Amino acid sequence: MTMHGQNYRLAVTTQGPLYPPAEVMDADGNFIVIGQIIREKETTWGAAIVSSKSPLPPYGQFLPYTIVKELEDAAEQSLKKIVLHTLPLPLPSNNYPMLFAPEQCPEAFKVVRERLPLHEGYIADYRKNDGRRKLPAITLADWLRASGELAVTLSDDKKSAVFNFSFKNLVPHSIYTVMSLREKDLAVKAPSRPGPLGIPNVFVTDANGDAEFWAELPDPFPPKTEDSNRIINVVVLFMSSQQSYGGAIGLHGLGGDIHAHLKLKASGFCELTTVA
């Protein structure tokens, strides 16, 4: 805790919103969910393999996932056998009505692409002689080793906030970005478009998967009103596309080119207030 701020520990995840259930799949096309799992009687944080044939309700409604296998108590050896993949395009099990990059990719919903191993994700304009840095297969065991710490500090005049991150054991030699999630980004009516946490919002991990990142945003935590749109979470994204997208978090989002790796388990920052 600082005089005008707070420290947070980020949790490993594979999930953005609840649909699609995860932003990574296994080789069989099932979702690998580390996050909120919708069950018959409750929705709780957990780990499971979820069928891509799970029922898909209209946006704003929820139906229980079809669980293929629970992973909460899975042995590490079994987790090492699960190689993570991107989602195909169009995104399966998706009901989020959002165009993530309206200027860069206004017809994103028309793109068709097969799922790929996460370490061999689609890279636009790639040529063999460009020297793509080779990554080993990324397993669920690798993914779960990641950790992150966040310190948020308000300016003396409370008009801005600095977000300082420290990461360990992310995917080595890879591009990551950080996005913000605001109150209205998942609103049932007219959701706001999720955006980057600062511009540029990109960092590159070292050989150990370690990195640091910071961003300063104007008035990210205004007093809560009917019109406010406070930041309530931050999400650290592995970029299988190995690029960032300026004012957009991705062209397709939700596992097509971005993959949530760390975030707060629940909405946060309610103890912080900034002014315009």
- Convert the pLDDT of each residue in 126-171 to its tens digit: 999 999 999 999 999 999 999 999 999 999 999 999 999 999 999 9
Q: Smallest Cα–Cα separation from 259: which of 235, 238, 234, 233? A: 238
Q: How far apart are CA 142 and CA 144, in angstroms?
A: 6
* Residues 163 and 173 sit within 8 Å (Cβ to Cβ): no
Q: Is a pLDDT exceeding 90 seen at residue 3? A: no
Q: Which structure tokens are listed for 175?
A: 């591009």
For 224-259, letters b (16+ CB in 10 Å) and e give eeeeeebbbbbbbbbbbbbebbeebbbbbbbbbbbb
3-state helix, strand, coil in the chain (%, to 5): 5, 35, 60
Q: What confidence tier does 73 reach under pLDDT thresholds 50, 70, 90?
A: very high
Length of the chain equals: 276
Q: What confidence tier does 118 reach under pLDDT thresholds 50, 70, 90?
A: very high
* Residues 159 and 276 sit within 8 Å (Cβ to Cβ): yes
Q: List alpha helices for 64-126, DSSP H.
A: 76-79
The pLDDT of 70-85, averaged and rounded, is 96
Q: What confidence tier does 4 reach under pLDDT thresholds 50, 70, 90?
A: confident
Q: What confidence tier does 1 reach under pLDDT thresholds 50, 70, 90?
A: very low
The pLDDT of 210-238, averaged and rounded, is 97
Q: How far apart are CA 202 and CA 245, in angstroms?
A: 9
* Residues 212 and 246 sit within 8 Å (Cβ to Cβ): no
Report helix, strand or coil for 60: coil
- Convert the pLDDT of each residue in 16-49 to its tens digit: 999 999 999 999 999 999 999 999 999 999 999 9
Residue 80 CA, chain-centre distance (Å), reads 22
Q: Which structure tokens are listed for 28?
A: 């069989």
* Residues 115 and 93 sit within 8 Å (Cβ to Cβ): no
What pLDDT does 157 receive? Answer: 95
Residue 83 CA, chain-centre distance (Å), reads 18
Q: How far apart are CA 240 and CA 226, in angstroms?
A: 37
Across the chain, mean pLDDT equals 97
Percent of the chain at pLDDT > 70 equals: 99
- Convert the pLDDT of each residue in 219-230 to its tens digit: 999 999 999 999
Q: Is a pLDDT exceeding 50 seen at residue 266? A: yes
